[in-house]
Amino acid sequence: MRWDPLLARAVARELDEALRGRRVRALLLEGASRRVVLYLRDATLAVELHPRAGWISLMEAAEPVADARPLPCRILGVEALPDESAIRLDLQRIRGKDEGVELVLEFAAGRGNAIVVGHRSRQVRHVLIPRETGGRALVPGAPWSPLPTGGRRGGPGGPPLSEAEFGELVAEGRGAVLGGVAWASSMNVEALLAPPPAGWAFLLAMRHPERWGTWLTPSPKGRIVYPLRLDGAAAGAEPVPSLLEGMRILRSEGEHVPAGALLLPAALVARGEDLLRRLERKAAALRRQLAGAPDPAPLRALGDLLLARFGEVPTGKSTAELVGFDGETVDVALDPALPVHENARRYYDEAARAERARSELPAKVEQAAKAARELASLLERVGTGEAEPAELEARVGSEPAGGGPGGRQGGRGAGGGRAGQGPGTSLPYRSFRSSGGLEIRVGRGARKNDDLTFHHAAPDDVWLHVREVPGAHVVLRWQESGNPPARDLEEAAGLAALNSEARHSGMVPVDWTRRKYVRKPRKAPPGAVRPDRVQTVFVEPDPGLPERLTPPES
């Protein structure tokens, strides 16, 4: 979409007729997508300020998304800034004694921006893309100044321009017209340079809105929407009802996101896509786990063989050579530190886990795959405007996704949820209360892991971390002698598993020790520690665990 000062003036006039007096609910400034959305009671105004966009869309009313800033105002009017490719919306607060604000939309090529300016203070309150360039500081708190116009002649507030003076500029050529005539631009300069009296007649039409219309006009860079027919293109010009309708037509012809997706915040889409990737990874991990699940029958048979040949099993050895039930010799792996019956129990337990995996994993695989398919479908429907952004927001939640490498904060998909998040969000951990009433602290990320372990845990507290997998440090507050209660320890280990890269595994080894036995090696990266006197507990990640463990303050 190409803009110039005349088009901005004509669009502002059209928007003023459409929006004057309407009530505003909220404003969304989304720098990542360079998009502005103004939520009205009975309409929605979306402005795309990306260099490859520049469209304005007036659509049906929509509910403000969670990231939108409440802005209870009434639109007093819309106008173009003098001889600039910029439009200003004057907004009056409905309640309170606030000075009111102006929303300035700048469409200058390559510098599109949106600025919220205090009506009287003339200070920048919010800005879509903070920047300092050309002597202008577009940052919150800075005094706002408009784009420099250069004082061209013939526009509002500028020096007058007679027909004779205009003729002199035309005689000097293209540069003189662009530099000296208000509203002149690369879009209309050829019409202004037309032989007399055509050029002067075109300038008069530019000055008088009653002579405007709306035309889709061919140009060397593609069709443009403009309030006047441009010289040399009249034969190909197509009239349309309004400039906004012309934008809609041109926008639909290009490779742009559907209009309904304009109300979809990029951050929300990113959270949805992140959750979709995690669901797809979970389904893939479960499929691999199912494919690798051993046959339980041979494992159980080895346990039976150990008990049947009890007296033949050597002590303190890592293998035993025994005659199997079929008369063939069998090498049986052993834990030399365990007695025979405990080694047999290990095989029985492993067989039980394999049996359980073969029984339960197919349903889990299908559940994860189904969730991924449903979310992919929802993302597509929201992208085409068939579903509301609120539906996606309800699905992915309003918290940033996490739980990735290095123990980043776990989101809902990682089992972290919001239930365990207390009011002190500046703390390096989230708190939960175990079934036995003990506090469990879960680190928020690599650097926060160090802070939790060395500044928010007592020496005798129990420290936990998933073995050899990036994840959160977890602290179980326990000052008594001896081991903590098994159930509380298992719940703390479950939170460690959920907030690690092993969250989708079937059975996860979680190492634990007293915090006083955890040390930080010199020059180790954030979150990297070395624990001693480690013991291990095996847990199966349960996504519903955080919801069952209430925060300490509740």
Domain-wise residue ranges, the chain: 5-138, 163-261, 266-396, 412-548
Q: How far apart are CA 138 and CA 125, in angstroms?
A: 10
The string of DSSP letters for 377-437 reads HHHHHHHTTSS-HHHHHHHH-SSPP---TTTPPP-GGGT-TTTT--S-TTSSEEEEE-TTS
Closest CA to 485 of 440, 544, 429, 443: 440
Which residue stretches of 456-550 are H helix? 486-498, 545-548
5-138 carries CATH number 2.30.310.10: yes
> Residue 100, by phi and psi: left (phi above 0), alpha (psi -120 to 50) or beta?
left
pLDDT at residue number 101: 93
pLDDT at residue number 330: 92
Contact (Cβ atoms closer than 8 angstroms) between residue 501 and residue 405: yes
Q: How far apart are CA 184 and CA 85, in angstroms?
A: 11
pLDDT at residue number 391: 81
Closest CA to 133 of 152, 151, 110: 110
pLDDT at residue number 331: 93
pLDDT at residue number 426: 62
Question: Which residues of the chain fall below pLDDT 70?
Answer: 96, 149, 231-235, 255-261, 397-426, 550-554
Closest CA to 284 of 359, 368, 360: 368
pLDDT at residue number 422: 36
Q: How far apart are CA 379 and CA 95, in angstroms?
A: 37
Angle 379-385-388 (CA atoms, 0-180°, nearest 5)?
Answer: 70
pLDDT at residue number 260: 64
Q: How far apart are CA 386 and CA 258, in angstroms?
A: 10
Biggest alpha carbon distance in the chain? 119
What residues have CB less than 8 Å from 235, skipping those under 6 apart? none
Strands 124-127 and 44-48: unpaired
pLDDT at residue number 21: 95
